[in-house]
């Protein structure tokens, strides 16, 4: 994990919204990164972060909604695997993956999800399969 990611995760854990905003002011993915870390801060109990994330999502246009869905995919994967120092939390993972399923066209995920599933432990793969049941079924050729 790079220094910026470490700082962002620490800011999210302590609910430091000013630090999250400062870290993600610029860049192509700044809005999605800011949203991802606001949601993470909300997961750690920040009601202010939850309010801001909800407001961002409510005002988002179509392309931004897809980016929001992909941010939830990242968070779901982080919780499934314990990535970036998060504790494995299958319940939170599932909630984030369900948000992804609502917001991201399934065609976008057709290649990524099977690769992601192969990297998961069986209990984590079961969560992914619960959200996308077709992943558990082998494709016929």
Residue in the block written with tokens 């910026």? 4
Per-residue pLDDT reduced to its tens digit, 17-45: 999 999 998 877 888 899 999 999 999 99
Statement: residue 48 has pLDDT above 80:
yes
Element of type H or E holding 139: none
Q: What is the DSSP letter of 83?
A: G
If one compares 141 and 122, the residue with the highest pLDDT of the two is 122
Q: Where are the alpha helices (DSSP H) in 1-141?
A: 3-14, 17-23, 30-43, 47-59, 62-81, 90-103, 106-109, 112-118, 122-131
Question: Which pLDDT belongs to residue 121?
Answer: 96
Question: Which pLDDT belongs to residue 103?
Answer: 92
Domain ranges for the chain, please list them: 1-59, 76-132
Residue 96 tokens, joined: 């984030």
Average pLDDT, the chain: 91
**Predicted TM-score (pTM) above 0.85:** yes
Instruction: Give residue 10's region: left, alpha or beta (phi > 0; psi -120 to 50).
Output: alpha
Spatial distance between the Cα atoms of 69 and 36, rounded to a whole number of angstroms: 10
Per-residue pLDDT reduced to its tens digit, 63-97: 789 999 999 999 999 999 999 889 999 999 999 99
Distance of CA 56 to the CA centre of its chain: 15
SS3 16: coil
């Amino acid at each position: 994990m790079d220094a910026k990611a470490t700082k962002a995760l620490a800011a999210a854990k302590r609910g430091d919204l000013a630090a999250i905003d400062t870290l993600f002011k610029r860049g192509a993915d700044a809005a999605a990164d800011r949203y991802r870390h606001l949601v993470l801060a909300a997961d750690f109990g920040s009601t202010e972060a939850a309010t801001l994330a909800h407001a961002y999502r409510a005002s988002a246009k179509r392309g931004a909604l897809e980016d929001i869905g992909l941010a939830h995919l990242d968070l779901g994967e982080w919780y499934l695997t314990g990535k970036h120092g998060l504790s494995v939390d299958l319940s939170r993972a599932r909630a984030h993956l369900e948000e992804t399923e609502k917001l991201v066209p399934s065609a976008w995920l057709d290649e990524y999800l099977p690769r992601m599933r192969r990297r998961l432990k069986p209990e984590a793969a079961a969560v992914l399969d619960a959200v996308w049941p077709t992943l558990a079924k082998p494709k016929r050729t």
